[in-house]
Chains A and B, each alone.
Chain A
Amino acid sequence: MFQTVLLSLTEGFGKTLEIFVLTLVGGIPLGLLISLGSMSRCKLLSWPIKLVIWVVRGTPLMLQLLIIYYGPGLILGNNWWGSGASGRFTAAIIAFIFNYACYFSEIFRGGIEGVPRGQREAGQVLGMTGTQIFFRVTLLQVIKRIIPPMGNEVITLVKDTSLARVISVYEIIWNGQAFIKSQGLIWPLFFTGVFYLAFSGLLTLLLSWTEKKLDYFKV
C-alpha cells in the first residue's frame, strides 16, 4: 500500500513541480517586462499596466484560475483550452504565470527604483554606456535587493501550486485526497506535507546560500 501511495504522490508532486518551474520560467521574464512597462514615462502604457497589477494582486488566484479556465468557454462560447487534462493544465499555467508576473513586477520595480540615481550618474561620468551601466553597476545591486522578497514569493508559490486543483489539475494534494474516497486513508494527505516541507526547506537553503554569496557588499 505504502508503495502505491508513494508512487501516486510522487506523480502528483511531479505535476506540482511542473507548475512551479513553468511559473518561474514564464513569470520572471514577463514580470520584468511588466515592471519596465509600469515604470515607463508614457502614461498611456504605465497606467493600464498599473491597473492590471492592481486587479491581479487584489483578487484571489483561485478566482483567476476559475475565470481563465471557464471564462473563454462560457463568455465567448469557445473553450480555447480544449477539454482534456492538458487543456486544464495549460489554463492553470497561464493563470499562475500571469498572477506571479504581477507580483514579481512590483518586486523588480522596487529593486530597480531602489538603486540610487548617483550610481547611474557615476557610471555616466566615467564614460560608460547604458548597457555597461546596467550590467556592471545596477544589475547586481538590484539582484541583491530583490532576493529576500523574491524568496518569499517563491516559497508562497510552492504552496499556491495546490490551488490548481480547483480546475482539476492532478497535483499532489488531489492525489493525496483521492485516497480518502477510494481507501478511507487519511495519512497520504498528511504525507503530502512532507513533500512540501522538503521542497520548501531545500529552497530556503538555496536562498540563504545566495544571500550569503552576495553578503560581501552592502547596498
Chain B
Amino acid sequence: MALLEVKDLRKNFDSLQVLRGVSFEMEKGETLSIIGPSGGGKTTLLRCLNFLEIPSAGSIAVGGKTIFDAASSRGLSEREIRQNRLHFGLVFQNFNLFPQYTALGNVSLAPKLQAKERPDYKQRRKELFEEIEEKSRELLFRVGLGDKLNYYPHQLSGGQQQRVAIARALALTPDVLFFDEPTSALDPELTGEVLNVIRQLAAEKMTMVVVTHEMAFAAAVSDKVLFIDGGVIAEQGPPEQVLKNPAEERTRQFLRGYEK
C-alpha cells in the first residue's frame, strides 16, 4: 500500500486555477523529485499538502487513511489540521529558523511543546525534556552541526541554517519530509552540504519529496520524478525516463533550458 496517496488535488486562488488535478502516490522510503517551470504550482502543491493552504478539491491519504477530503461535507477543525500536519515536515526555501533560539532550541522547541500534551507530562517533565534535547543533539550531529548546537541562526551560514531547518523538521519524525527548493537561497558553494544531507537521508530510506532545480541531484537520488507544468503533472516516472528520455515535448523543452 502506498504511504502517501494524493488524488486529484486542486487549488484555486479566486479565479486563478493553480493546481488543476494533481494525483500521485509514493511508497515508504522513496524519494520523489518535483521539477518544472516557475509558476507551475510546485510550491502550492507542497503548501497544500502541509495545510498552509486548504486544497479546493481532492483528497490526501497517509498509510491508507484519508486525512483530507475536500468532498467531505465538514471542514477540518484547527486541531485536526494540526494533527494532519504532524504526518509531514516541510523545509522552506528560506529556512525560516526562529531567530531567538539557538540551533538546539530551534530543533527542540516543537517536540517540547508536543510533550505537554502527554498525560505523564507533569510527573516526567524533566526526563522528557532531557530525552528531547538528547535527540535534538543527535539530529544536529547527523546533519553535521554537532559543534554548533548553541549558535543562533544569525551566527550560521545559509547552508548551516538550512541543515538546522532539516534537523528541526526531522525532530517530529514526520512520515514524509517535503523540501521546497532547499538550496535556491544559497550561494553555489553552500548547496553541496545541504544536498549531501538529503542524499544521506535518502540512503537511510527517509520518505521525501524534493522540489528542485538541481537536475543532476534529482537524477542521482530520486526513485521517481514528477514534472509539473501549468498545475498538472505533465509527466512522471523514474529519473532515467523523465530526465534522460522524456516522452512529453513540454518536458524536453523544459530540460533543454538546463543543458549547458
Q: Could you tell me the distance in whole angstroms from the C-beta of B159 to the nearest C-beta in chain A?
A: 18
Least CB separation from B106: chain A residue: A122
Q: Mark A186-219, 1 if CB is under 8 A from B, else 0.
A: 0000000000000000000000000000001111
Contacts of B168 in A (CB 8 A): 126
Contacts of B113 in A (CB 8 A): 127-128, 132, 136
Q: Mark B48-88, 1 if CB is under 8 A from A, else 0.
A: 00111000000000000000000000000010001101101
Q: Could you tell me the distance between the alpha carbons of A132 and B158 in the complex, rounded to whole angstroms?
A: 26
Number of A residues, CB within 8 Å of B: 23
Interface residues of B in 149-176 (CB under 8 A from A): 152-154, 168-169, 172
Q: Is A137 an interface residue (CB 8 A)?
A: yes
Number of A-B contacts (CB under 8 A): 67
User: Which of A84-92, A113-121, A150-158 forms part of the interface with chain B?
Assistant: A113-121
B99/A122 in contact, CB under 8 A:
no
Among B82, B83, B89, B94, which residue has its beta carbon within 8 angstroms of that of A118? B94
Q: Is A124 an interface residue (CB 8 A)?
A: yes
A136/B109 in contact, CB under 8 A:
yes
A141/B85 in contact, CB under 8 A:
no
B172/A140 in contact, CB under 8 A:
no
A122/B154 in contact, CB under 8 A:
no
B110/A217 in contact, CB under 8 A:
no
Least CB separation from B98: chain A residue: A137
Interface residues of A in 86-142 (CB under 8 A from B): 116, 118-119, 121-130, 132, 136-137, 140-141
Contacts of A141 in B (CB 8 A): 99-100
B89/A140 in contact, CB under 8 A:
no
Task: Given A118-B96, A140-B100, A217-B99, verify A127-B86 contact (CB < 8 Å).
Answer: yes
Contacts of B15 in A (CB 8 A): none
Least CB separation from A136: chain B residue: B109
A218/B154 in contact, CB under 8 A:
yes
Contacts of B89 in A (CB 8 A): 125
Q: Could you tell me the distance between the alpha carbons of A103 and B99 in the complex, rounded to whole angstroms?
A: 27
B172/A127 in contact, CB under 8 A:
yes
Least CB separation from A117: chain B residue: B96
Task: Given A132-B113, A136-B109, A217-B152, verify A124-B96 contact (CB < 8 Å).
Answer: no
B98/A119 in contact, CB under 8 A:
yes
Q: Could you tell me the distance between the alpha carbons of A140 and B98 in the complex, rounded to whole angstroms?
A: 10
Among A125, A137, A218, which residue has its beta carbon within 8 angstroms of that of B90? A125
Contacts of B169 in A (CB 8 A): 125-126
Q: Is B92 an interface residue (CB 8 A)?
A: yes
Among A119, A121, A127, A217, which residue has its beta carbon within 8 angstroms of that of B52? A121
Task: Given A125-B50, A136-B113, verify A118-B92 contact (CB < 8 Å).
Answer: yes
A126/B172 in contact, CB under 8 A:
yes
B110/A116 in contact, CB under 8 A:
no
Task: Given A118-B94, A136-B109, A218-B154, verify A125-B85 contact (CB < 8 Å).
Answer: yes
B82/A129 in contact, CB under 8 A:
yes
B100/A125 in contact, CB under 8 A:
no
Q: Could you tell me the distance between the alpha carbons of A218 and B52 in the complex, rounded to whole angstroms?
A: 26
A217/B154 in contact, CB under 8 A:
yes
Contacts of A217 in B (CB 8 A): 99-100, 152-154
Q: Could you tell me the distance between the alpha carbons of A130 and B152 in the complex, rounded to whole angstroms?
A: 24
A127/B85 in contact, CB under 8 A:
yes
Query: 30 A-B residue contacts at CB 8 Å?
Result: A118-B94, A119-B96, A121-B52, A122-B92, A122-B97, A122-B98, A124-B50, A124-B51, A124-B52, A124-B85, A125-B85, A125-B88, A125-B90, A125-B169, A126-B85, A126-B109, A126-B110, A126-B168, A126-B172, A127-B86, A127-B114, A127-B172, A128-B110, A128-B113, A130-B78, A132-B113, A136-B98, A137-B98, A140-B100, A217-B152
* Additional A-B contacts beyond A124-B52, A136-B109 (16; CB < 8 A): A116-B96, A118-B92, A119-B98, A121-B52, A123-B98, A124-B51, A126-B109, A126-B110, A126-B172, A127-B114, A127-B172, A128-B82, A128-B113, A136-B98, A217-B153, A218-B154
CB within 8 Å of A: which residues of B?
Answer: 50-52, 78, 82-83, 85-86, 88-90, 92, 94, 96-100, 109-110, 113-114, 152-154, 168-169, 172
